[in-house]
Amino acid sequence: MRFDIITLFPDFFTSPLCSGLLGKALDKGIAAVHLTNPRDFTTDKHHRVDDEPYGGGVGMLMKPEPIFAAVESLPVLSRRSVVLTTPQGEPLNQALLKDLAIAHDQLVIICGHYEGVDDRVLNLVTREISLGDFVLTCGEIPALALLNGVVRLLPGTVGKEASLKAESFEEGLLDYPQYTRPPIFREWSVPEVLLSGNHAAIADWRQEQQIQRTRDRRPDLYQAWLHSKNSPKPVPD
């Protein structure tokens, strides 16, 4: 899968692209990341990528011309989306990451900066995505989160793909608590059921913990899970 990141700060990605599972996936050719700086496409002697907003206001906006030129310089694969990271976009969640991983061969990610981008840039964009209801200093942070979340779902990135099916949000619930050696650390003990060797009991305990955790920590997810359990299943044709 090809990722093209439009960023004023390519160095932001230097270490993350060489680290952990993401770095290994890139080394294996599971994904390829290309960094394009819109400043390289400016035509004035000062290489300006920002300007004051019409109508007044605080801060500067990224100009449309360098962004358009940067995106239009890229190759176009058949299944491509152009993404703008913005607090005004759809919330990033596991279902969205799955869709991006399955349905695309190329993601172009535009990293906003300053007070955002000229709204005409949206004519390039096919999807706006938000990391959450808060504001960051740059679009590189959500772009990296998006990149990481998609790449880890691509076949071959995670050694044991079964582990992808037993983690938070996969069944609409948070993950269950997990433990490793030693069985007692300070005054805290590993739950006896996990030491029992009874796999059926362990599976029941884990599901109970998932439900309890989701109910206590994320009542919104819990209500959605209850609704999905109670909704009638479609009758096959």
Task: Please report, for the domain that includes residue 182, its CATH number.
Answer: 1.10.1270.20
Beta bridge partners of 82: 108
Average pLDDT rounded to a whole number, residues 69-73: 98
Q: Judge if 132 and 25 occupy the same domain.
A: yes
Q: Judge if 119 and 210 occupy the same domain.
A: no
Strand-pair category, 50-51 with 127-130: unpaired
The answer to whether 153 and 98 are in contact (CB under 8 A) is: yes
Average pLDDT rounded to a whole number, residues 73-82: 97
Tokens of 190: 């590993």
The domain in which residue 218 lies consists of: 166-230
Number of domains forming the structure of the chain: 2
**pLDDT confidence band for 185 (50 / 70 / 90):** very high
Question: Could you write out the three-class secondary structure of 138-194?
Answer: CCHHHHHHHHHHHHCCCCCCCCCHHHHHCCCCCCCCCCCCCCCCCCEECCEECCHHH
Average pLDDT rounded to a whole number, residues 65-79: 97
Task: Encode pLDDT of 107-118 as tens digits.
Answer: 999 999 888 999
Question: What pLDDT shows up at residue 58?
Answer: 85
Residue 167 predicted with pLDDT over 60: no
Residue 27 predicted with pLDDT over 60: yes
Residue 48 predicted with pLDDT over 70: yes
Average pLDDT rounded to a whole number, residues 225-236: 74
C-alpha 2/C-alpha 4 separation (Å) is 7
Average pLDDT rounded to a whole number, residues 181-185: 94
**pLDDT confidence band for 229 (50 / 70 / 90):** confident
Q: What share of the chain has pLDDT > 90, as a percent?
A: 84
Q: Judge if 67 and 174 occupy the same domain.
A: no
Instruction: Say if 161 falls within a structural domain.
Output: no
Instruction: Say if 100 falls within a structural domain.
Output: yes
Could you tell me which residue, 161 or 1, shows the higher pLDDT? Answer: 1
Instruction: Say if 235 falls within a structural domain.
Output: no
C-alpha 151/C-alpha 5 separation (Å) is 14
Instruction: Say if 41 falls within a structural domain.
Output: yes
Q: Judge if 145 and 172 occupy the same domain.
A: no
Q: Judge if 26 and 142 occupy the same domain.
A: yes
For the chain, what is the mean pLDDT?
Answer: 92
Instruction: Say if 159 falls within a structural domain.
Output: no
C-alpha 89/C-alpha 109 separation (Å) is 13
Q: Judge if 46 and 77 occupy the same domain.
A: yes
The answer to whether 140 and 111 are in contact (CB under 8 A) is: yes
Residue 165 predicted with pLDDT over 80: no
Instruction: Say if 158 falls within a structural domain.
Output: no
Question: What pLDDT shows up at residue 9?
Answer: 96
